[in-house]
Amino acid sequence: MIAVIQRVTQASVTIEGQIKGQIGLGFLILLGITHTDTREDIEWLSKKIVGMRIFSDAEDKMNLDLKTVNGHILLISQFTLHASTKKGNRPSFIEAARPEVAIPLYEQMIQQLTLDLGQPIQTGEFGADMKVSLLNDGPVTILIDSKNRQ
């Protein structure tokens, strides 16, 4: 499972002209799911995300986590994070999980992030054509791969 975490002051996702989810201060997370991901990946990644200390403290040091700053999460499923660009100019998405595998894992991640954060999170819609808007703060963007824990 790959997560691109962007620290934002605001973010939203629009589907067919309607806002589906929006947040103020927090994380916009793009989540890529592969066919080998498991419940263990979800639990590890969720705890890592919620505990990520990348908000500034009083001394302007990245030292505070989401709960401390009362931040929120907007989670967007993005299969293109598993693109392979090794051959040619057209990416291959063979490593991205098919919907029958990815949808249940995406829904489990929503539940786990909600549990770990202690409040509901905002989401996009799996498989929809989404327009994502954000104001990246910093900018701070961090990539986490649950298969690369070492």
Q: Which residues are the active-site residues?
A: 78-80
Using the 8-state DSSP alphabet, how is residue 117 labeled?
Answer: H
Backbone angles phi, psi at 56, to 5 degrees: -75, 140
The string over 19-36, giving b where at least 16 C-beta atoms fall within 10 Å of a residue's C-beta and e elsewhere, is ebbebebbbbbbbbbbee
Alpha carbon 103 to its chain's center: 14
Closest CA to 72 of 124, 3, 10, 146: 10
Q: For residues 12 and 19, is the Cβ–Cβ distance under 8 A?
A: yes
State both tokens at 106: 């995406």
Element (H, E) at 104: helix 99-117
